[in-house]
């Protein structure tokens, strides 16, 4: 005898039956334009230098960086965030290479702009940590503490030389109080109202930055807990967000991405400007290491994490898989 109206009457699994069905009803879709590629360029090397803690990522030469930028354009990636690694002997207490028009970052900006023009947003890391001999993101006072206001003066000069070199977007990442307002004023003073600011609004003092230290040949001793945010705090992020917007940020960012999806969602719900998230070196390296061991499916893990970051509210994602992910999406 046929029984009608049997339990369950509602069957959500009907919308999961085939790949096409799942694709049609997907609520979150990744697109190559979502991605920004972080890239490192090292002064004084003749070949790309592999980063041992980040398998597949290198410190580029000027030539290999241009090639990477072209590959990103061809894959449909929106931007490239550049980090310069100067020769060790050029580092000093003030981070002079960061404001030298011929410093490696400024040279790299010019190189990439000459190669790709406006087909790729050229973004520049605006911070002193790669260029100081002490490895901190700012100028130190007589007691070895980061001097907020003295650092802002350096950031203003950095913003101007990066804009002069051709940056479309500057990314102040040092978490100094007032940095967005100072950078916006510095850019406007030289008539560069067109240069956008991507504010590192919620940048946490995370354990997941470890591999990045090798990537930028960091000289840091100690930690950055007096200026990067405490992982325990949420309201602090929202306060930083309000300040950055008031000071003129065009876009805002949460960093790291994966461990702070709740912060990302809060920020995305609160603003009407584009929101980015940075899937940082430790997030990248953990997946690569586990995949190398055969413990996880590499591609599935990559796309699952990227989807989770976008689902949480990121309009754009800085990820070391940007070009690879964009290429694979383009083949789907």
Distance from C-alpha of 35 to C-alpha of 257, rounded to nearest angstrom = 13
Is 310 assigned a catalytic role?
no
Out of 67, 90, 225, 255, pick the active-site residue: 255
Q: Which of 66, 91, 203, 310 is catalytic?
A: 203
CA of residue 162 relative to chain centroid, distance? 17
Active site residue 91: no
- Does the annotation place 213 within a ligand binding site? yes
> Which parts of the chain fold into alpha helices (H)?
19-25, 62-75, 104-116, 148-165, 179-189, 210-215, 235-247, 261-270, 281-292, 298-312, 322-330
Q: Is 4 annotated as a binding residue?
A: no
Say whether 235 counts as a known binding-site residue.
no
Query: Which of 269, 277, 266 has its CA nearest to residue 199?
Result: 277
Distances (CA, A) of 121 to 78, 97, 216: 6, 23, 21
229 burial (CB, 10 Å; 0-12 / 13-18 / 19+) is: buried
206 annotated to bind ligand: no
Distance CA 259, CA 255 (A): 9
Q: Is 115 annotated as a binding-site member?
A: no
CA distance 129 to 138: 7
Q: Report the catalytic residues.
A: 203, 255
- Residues annotated within the binding site are 213, 224, 240, 281, 320
Residue ranges of the annotated binding site for Mg(2+) are 240
Binding-site positions for 5-aminolevulinate read: 213, 224, 281, 320
């Amino acid at each position: 005898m046929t029984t009608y109206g049997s339990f369950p009457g509602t069957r959500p699994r009907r919308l999961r039956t085939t790949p096409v069905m799942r694709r049609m009803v997907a609520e979150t879709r990744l697109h190559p334009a979502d991605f920004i590629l972080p890239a490192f360029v090292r002064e004084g090397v003749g070949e790309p230098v592999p980063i041992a803690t980040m398998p597949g990522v290198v410190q580029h030469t000027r030539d290999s960086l241009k090639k990477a930028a072209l590959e990103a354009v061809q894959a449909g990636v929106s931007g490239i965030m550049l980090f310069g690694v100067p020769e060790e002997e050029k580092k000093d207490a003030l981070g002079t290479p960061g404001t030298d028009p011929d410093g490696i970052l400024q040279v790299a900006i010019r190189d990439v702009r000459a190669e790709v023009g406006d087909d790729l947003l050229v973004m520049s890391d605006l911070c002193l940590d790669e260029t100081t001999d002490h490895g901190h993101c700012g100028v130190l006072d007589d007691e070895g503490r980061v001097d907020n206001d003295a650092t802002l003066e350096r950031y203003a000069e950095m913003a101007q030389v990066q804009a002069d070199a051709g940056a479309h977007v500057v990314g102040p990442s040092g978490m100094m109080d007032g940095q967005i307002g100072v950078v916006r004023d510095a850019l406007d003073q030289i008539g560069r109202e067109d240069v956008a600011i991507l504010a590192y609004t919620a940048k946490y003092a995370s354990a997941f930055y470890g591999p990045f230290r090798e990537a930028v040949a960091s000289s840091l001793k100690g930690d950055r807990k007096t200026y990067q945010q405490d992982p325990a705090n949420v309201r602090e992020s929202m306060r930083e967000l309000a300040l950055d917007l008031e000071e003129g940020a065009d876009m805002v960012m949460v960093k790291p991405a994966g461990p702070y999806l709740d912060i990302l969602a809060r920020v995305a719900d609160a603003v009407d400007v584009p929101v980015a998230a940075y899937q940082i070196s430790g997030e990248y390296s953990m997946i690569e290491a586990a995949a190398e061991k055969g413990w996880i499916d590499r591609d599935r893990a990559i796309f699952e994490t990227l989807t989770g970051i976008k689902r949480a509210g990121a309009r754009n994602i800085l990820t070391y898989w940007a070009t690879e992910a964009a290429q694979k999406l383009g083949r789907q």
